[in-house]
Chains A and B, each alone.
Chain A
Amino acid sequence: MTGREHDIVRTFIKLSDRLVDDFDVVEVTTELAEQCAELLGVAAAGLLLADVGGVLHLLAATSHHVRTVEILQLQAEEGPCLDCFRTGRPVSVADLKAHRDRWPRFSAVALDEGYASVHAIPMRLRNEVLGTLGLFGTSPGALEEEQLAVAQALAHVASLAIVQQGHTLPASHVLTGLQAAVASRRLLEIAKGVVAESLGIGMDEAFIRLRGYARLRDQHLGEVARRVVSEAPARRAALLAELAAVGGPS
């Protein structure tokens, strides 16, 4: 096995281990995005999910940076990820500059931020498209067939993870899974805001601390987020003090 094949195998083993246990969907998909970017050598990756209204929402990304998040959120209106979601087929843009007229608003922001290539992979389940995995590179270039296959496999894993955690309803589990995933991402953002403002740190750092704390205590990231947002003032203050004591990335 080559070093790269070894990395791919290790990634899938790690992810499948996570999925057989009770897991947190935002945490697992964030990890998936991070692994995907690393394996495929792209600068940023993000997962976008469609809600019941068919609108794309950001579920997980490698970056919490305002500009990158903005580029991903712009896909709700135009861009390769939206086209991929609508057609259910991969959209590969090896050189974004050459295609800037196709998505003028998106291209302007993405090029400005230093991205030069975009690859959007559909997240499918049976005949339904759930969302898109978007990969953003800082240099022009196509993905090799094997890389695309790895990205597609990771997108499948993400689809299964999302449907799995919405198991409360046997009938319409896909839809409840999507709704629950989008909602827990929003809850995480509220928690990031509380932590960032209370501790005087940035949103990236707030996420790192929330995740670090959840891992340290073996708790779901979503549960920690819920406590940060909903606890009574005294208990929230105690929790924030613990978060302040958590170190950097683990």
Chain B
Amino acid sequence: MDSRAAMRTGLTAALSGTGHGREAADRLCGACVNLLNVDGAALSMIYDGAISRSLGSSSSISRELDELQFTLGEGPCLDAVSSAAPVLIADLNDPAMQRWPGFARAATQRGVLAVFALPVAVASLPIGALDLYRTRTGDLADSVLEGGLIAAELAAMPLLDLMGLDLSAAVSDEGSDAWQQLGSLTRLEVYQAAGILIAQLGVSASEALVRLRAYAFSHNRTASEVALDIIEHRLRLPDDATDDPISTEGDGHR
């Protein structure tokens, strides 16, 4: 438990500085390299149902390998997302592991011999993947894998932020603790309210969460408070994210 706590603290610290979205994604990947005993890390997001954008990385090779998977249409990262489960390849040269001949060749040519792809999800709905690369073969130690799973959990926040970049409101609270930020999405009422937004606005689940979070942030309220207002029908968010919210009672604040 103690090593897990230390790992969490280290990874959380990477997300706690200023700047968010892409910068935070890069820092998280850098922290994976420093703390998880891997040689490269990259974070990608799903766009329009397909994983298609590499958003953060610890090195140019990591980014290249991530993007190569989208180009080739094959690779552990894509499989991790479609199966919603980690894909752990301890030796890319092992014939039994040749599920992705094009990707395996490209990776080994660049000196990458092992890859560990972890899905990034919100409420078990995949939104991206975190790929960890190693220049040597071998399984990840249990404690490292645990750290990877923590990093994948933390990665949901910069990914949601990047999805929200098109929205008018800034989402990330600069300098705040990353686990606390993630904490704003732990309360069940937030998910109930997201469901209501799906029904009202016809948006996807991740967009519903992004809008709820953006609204809460720009009105200086917690996601939980906003969620309860939505559930009790005291507040209705506008169809278009850039419009002013429609309040059904007073100014929408209790």
Listed in ascending order, the chain A residues whose CB lies under 8 Å from chain B are 51-55, 57-58, 66, 69, 73, 76, 128, 168-169, 171-172, 175-176, 179-180, 183-187, 189-198, 203, 222, 226, 229-230, 233
Residues of A within 8 A of B231 (CB): 66, 193, 203
Give which listed residue, B125, B145, B150, contacts A230 with CB less than 8 A: B125
The answer to whether A52 and B153 touch (CB under 8 A), given A73-B188, A189-B192, A193-B198, is yes
The answer to whether residues A190 and B195 also contact, given A53-B179, A55-B183, A55-B186 and a CB cut-off of 8 A, is: yes
Given contact pairs A168-B86, A196-B195, A230-B125, enumerate 11 new A-B contacts (beta carbons under 8 Å): A53-B150, A57-B186, A172-B149, A183-B124, A186-B123, A189-B188, A190-B205, A192-B195, A193-B231, A197-B196, A226-B124
Interface size on B, residues (CB 8 A): 42
- Provide the bound-state CA to CA distance between A55 and B5, in Å: 11
- Which residue of B is nearest A203, CB measured? B192
Minimal beta-carbon separation of A102 from chain B (angstroms): 24
Q: B153 and A186: CB pair below 8 A?
A: no
CB distance from B234 to the nearest CB of A (A): 14
Contact B149 A175 (CB under 8 A): yes
B191 touches A193 (CB 8 A): yes
Q: A54, A66, A196, A197: which has the most chain B beta carbons within 10 Å?
A: A197
Bound-state CA distance A76–B183 (Å) is 10
Bound-state CA distance A222–B140 (Å) is 30
Closest CB of chain B to A79's CB: distance in Å?
15
- A198: which B residues are within 8 A, CB to CB? 199
Total CB contacts across the A-B interface at under 8 A: 120
Interface 1/0s, chain B 130-149, versus A by CB < 8 A? 00000000011010011001
Decide yes or no whether B218 CB sits under 8 A from chain A. no
Please determine whether B195 and A193 come into contact, CB atoms closer than 8 angstroms: yes
**By the criterion CB–CB under 8 Å, are A186 and B124 in contact?**
yes
12 A-B pairs whose Cβ atoms sit less than 8 Å apart in the complex: A55-B183, A58-B188, A168-B85, A171-B139, A171-B145, A190-B192, A190-B198, A190-B205, A194-B195, A194-B196, A203-B192, A226-B125
B224: nearest residue on chain A (CB-CB)? A73
- Interface residues in B165-201 (C-beta closer than 8 Å to A): 179, 182-183, 186-189, 191-200
Given A128-B1, A230-B125, do A190 and B200 touch, yes or no (CB 8 Å)? no
